[in-house]
Amino acid sequence: MWGPVLRSGVEADPKRNRTGQLLRRAIRAVWRGGQRNAAGDDCGTILEQVAADLASLNHATEKDFLAIGGKLAEFLAAARQISADMAALGELISGSTGCHASQVLTRVLERLRETQARAETGDRTLGSACDSARQIGRTFSGFRDTVSIFRVLGSLTRIETARLGHAGAEFGHLAEEVNALTQSIETSGQGIVDDSAILHGSMRSALTKVTDLRAGELKELPSLIAEVMTSLASLENRRRRASEASLRQAAEYAEASAAIGDLITAIQFHDITRQQVEHVVEALRGLRAEFREGVRKRVHLPRDARAVLTLQSSQLSSAEQVFARSAAAIQRDLDSIAGRVRNMAEAGQTLLGFSAEERDSFFLQMEGRFTAILRVVGTCATAEAETRSVLAELEQTVARMQQSVAEVRHIGIRIHRIAINAAIRAVPIGDSGNALNLIAEVMQRLALDSASITGEVAAALEAIADAAGRLSSRSAWTVANAHSDADTSVSEMRAAILELHSSSEASFGRLNQITALSSRLGDEIQSVRAGFSAGALFAETAGRVRRALEQIGGQFGPAPRRDLEAPAERRLEDFALHYTMQAEREVHASVTAGAAPGQPVPVGTSTVVPDEQDFGDNVELF
């Protein structure tokens, strides 16, 4: 991708070959002893081509460096993004979010253990209440026979009363009363039987639900939560190991960022070289104008042309040296950064101590467990709601049954009284009242049996009511505001698990981002490095141009002896030898190194080119 960009411009420019041809033609003309003015004309054309070559070089390197700088800025942003991602990942798995995760799971576990305990108690309580309900049904199943016997006894009473005639007149209303009470007791008794069937059915259903819950989701729950806790602990252990590695990684990414920043500064330093080349182009075009003018007026070529060419050649030589060092440093830096980022990308792949496949599988398992916990929470919430509903229904049924039982007991007492009364009244009748006396005795016995049955049922109902009460009082969700408490609790558990899931998916995303960006960054830097050929391009073009300038300068004979030269020409030679934009670099170096203003480094006092790393980035200062 970079190769074609960097090789564009001069190398691809057909004018370059044209320059060579013109140069060769001019040299041949001069060596053949051709007209000086004609040679000057050709030299002007060559100078123009050389200037165009240099301008084109400047344009190409400018474009390439801008592109490379832009790419480096992207790398810098990516390296910073990776550092930020690592910090965010550290926070997700170990910071307050990570600590919060295990607390949340512990809380959810406690809540679900409470649910499990409630389910166990409910299981036992409902089982016992269910037995009681079944017992009530069984107890009352024989009550129909008792009622029939009461009815028979009432009929016998009526028959016997009729047989006794006047003597039994007082028993007539007793028979009616027993009949009416029998009717009532039958109705109430039937109600108890029906209610006991309802009670038994609903309790069986609730019991089945609770048993299923315990046998199903609740049974899985402890191991499920244990698995999640183990995963979190494993993640925590890995994190501890990864923590140091990620700290080192973050530091290395910071160093890589700094190195990229330095590289961008070094590239900006190219501005000075570019300006230097621009000056050369300007000077050569000026000289070419003078050549043309000389040709037009048929006068001698400029006297100081040779000095000017030497000066520009020297400028180019200086620029070439600086550029070569700079380009070599850029290549070294790119190599170093690419190597470092590649190593970091490899380390990033296994940041948590497992491979990419293991990591994907780990996060997938975590997510599956979150889903399973949410399913259990949902099932528990449904089961709790159903239990609440059964308890409410059970309390209503028990209350209704208790009322029926009380009625039956009350009727039994009344029948018992009637029977005692009948027995007492039968005594004065003598032997004729024996039958009535017998009926009264049977009635008393039945009333006592009935009292016993209702007593048992009342005790069973009391036990059921007590069990329901205990179940209600144990369940925090069935006290006042039960529904809203239960909903809040379930919502809290759901919210906690969803929060953990969010944290988990963010960690997954961060790891993917770190891995992808690191890997891509390494590849792209490597690609930039592979395509970086600006140094070779500059050296090749500058060297060729310098050779052309020296050959043109050679047309004007050997360099004059210094002691015979005119002062102005000598000054120009000195200037050519000593003045380059090196002076600017030195001043720049002194400024960036903190030299006092107003104490510039004297021009020409040093020919040592400072390392480009010493320069700041404010090259526009010049």
Partner 1 sequence: MTVFSENRPAAPVYRWEPDYAVGVEEIDREHQWLFALAEGMHQAMLAGKGRDALQALLTELVDYTGSHFSHEEGLMERSGYPDLRVHRRQHEDLRARVREMQDRASSGEVTMTIEVMQFFIAWLKQHTSTSDRPIGEHLKATGQLPCRG
What's the CA gap between 478 and 387, in Å, rounded? 9
Which ranges in 269-355 belong to alpha helices (H)? Answer: 270-297, 305-349
Q: Which of 516, 568, 593, 621 contacts partner 1 by CB under 8 A?
A: 516
Site for partner 1 in 518-537 (CB under 8 A): 520
What's the CA gap between 423 and 443, in Å, rounded? 10
Using only C-alpha atoms, the chain has a radius of gyration, in whole angstroms, of 54
Cα–Cα distances in angstroms (integers) from residue 145 to residues 182, 200, 439, in the given order: 12, 22, 16
Site for partner 1 in 86-125 (CB under 8 A): none
Interaction between residue 538 and partner 1 (CB under 8 A): no
Piece of 67-75, 98-106, 392-400, 607-615 that binds partner 1 (CB under 8 A): 67-75
Interaction between residue 485 and partner 1 (CB under 8 A): no
- The one-letter amino acid at 239: R
Closer residue to partner 1 (CB): 281 or 457: 281
Decide: 137 and 197 in contact? Cβ < 8 Å.
yes
What minimum distance in Å lies between the beta carbon of 237 and partner 1? 21
Would you give the binding string for partner 1 spanning residues 424-453, x where CB under 8 A is met?
Answer: ------------------------------
The answer for residues whose C-beta is within 8 angstroms of residue 499's C-beta and 6 or more apart is 100, 104
The answer for residues whose C-beta is within 8 angstroms of residue 313's C-beta and 6 or more apart is 546, 549, 550, 553
Decide: 391 and 478 in contact? Cβ < 8 Å.
yes
The answer for residues whose C-beta is within 8 angstroms of residue 201's C-beta and 6 or more apart is none
Piece of 68-76, 302-310, 326-334, 469-477 that binds partner 1 (CB under 8 A): 68-76
Interaction between residue 509 and partner 1 (CB under 8 A): yes
Strand, helix or coil at 611?
coil
Site for partner 1 in 368-387 (CB under 8 A): 368, 370-371, 374, 378
- The one-letter amino acid at 33: G
Interaction between residue 62 and partner 1 (CB under 8 A): yes
Interaction between residue 76 and partner 1 (CB under 8 A): yes
Residue 500: closest CA among 606, 378, 327, 366:
366
Residue 57: closest CA among 96, 8, 5, 3:
8
Q: Which of 171, 253, 363, 615 contacts partner 1 by CB under 8 A?
A: 363
Decide: 464 and 202 in contact? Cβ < 8 Å.
no
Q: Which of 49, 58, 478, 513 contacts partner 1 by CB under 8 A?
A: 513
Tokens 């000017």 belong to: 308
Q: Which of 12, 35, 38, 77 contacts partner 1 by CB under 8 A?
A: 77
What's the CA gap between 318 and 575, in Å, rounded? 13
- Token digits of residue 377: 């929470």
Interaction between residue 588 and partner 1 (CB under 8 A): no
Interaction between residue 504 and partner 1 (CB under 8 A): yes
Interaction between residue 323 and partner 1 (CB under 8 A): no
Piece of 5-13, 23-31, 343-351, 367-375 that binds partner 1 (CB under 8 A): 367-375
Closer residue to partner 1 (CB): 50 or 344: 344
Complete DSSP assignment for 237-291: HHHHHHHHHHHHHHHHHHHHHHHHHHHHHHHHTHHHHHHHHHHHHHHHHHHHHHH
Interaction between residue 215 and partner 1 (CB under 8 A): no
Closer residue to partner 1 (CB): 77 or 328: 77
Q: Which of 69, 286, 604, 616 contacts partner 1 by CB under 8 A?
A: 69
What minimum distance in Å lies between the beta carbon of 354 and partner 1? 15
What's the CA gap between 202 and 271, in Å, rounded? 90
What's the CA gap between 176 and 557, in Å, rounded? 160
Interaction between residue 58 and partner 1 (CB under 8 A): no
Interaction between residue 250 and partner 1 (CB under 8 A): no
Tokens 């024989």 belong to: 142
Interaction between residue 497 and partner 1 (CB under 8 A): yes
Interaction between residue 512 and partner 1 (CB under 8 A): yes
- How many other C-beta atoms can be found within 10 angstroms of the C-beta atom of residue 571? 12
Interaction between residue 264 and partner 1 (CB under 8 A): yes
What's the CA gap between 267 and 71, in Å, rounded? 12
Closer residue to partner 1 (CB): 148 or 382: 382
Closer residue to partner 1 (CB): 27 or 72: 72
Closer residue to partner 1 (CB): 233 or 364: 364
Closer residue to partner 1 (CB): 150 or 508: 508
Interaction between residue 74 and partner 1 (CB under 8 A): yes
Cα–Cα distances in angstroms (integers) from residue 549 to residues 193, 316, 317, 464, in the given order: 124, 10, 12, 116
Residue 83: closest CA among 460, 490, 517, 507:
517
Interaction between residue 171 and partner 1 (CB under 8 A): no
Closer residue to partner 1 (CB): 83 or 397: 83
Q: Which of 139, 196, 404, 503 contacts partner 1 by CB under 8 A?
A: 503
Q: Which of 501, 544, 570, 578 contacts partner 1 by CB under 8 A?
A: 501
Interaction between residue 268 and partner 1 (CB under 8 A): yes
- The one-letter amino acid at 459: A
Closer residue to partner 1 (CB): 356 or 476: 356
Closer residue to partner 1 (CB): 416 or 510: 510
Decide: 307 and 271 in contact? Cβ < 8 Å.
no
Q: Which of 170, 293, 367, 584 contacts partner 1 by CB under 8 A?
A: 367
Which positions lie near partner 1, rule CB under 8 A?
Answer: 62, 65-66, 68-70, 72-74, 76-78, 81, 264, 267-268, 270-271, 274, 360, 363-364, 366-368, 370-371, 374, 378, 497-498, 501-506, 508-510, 512-513, 516-517, 520, 619-620
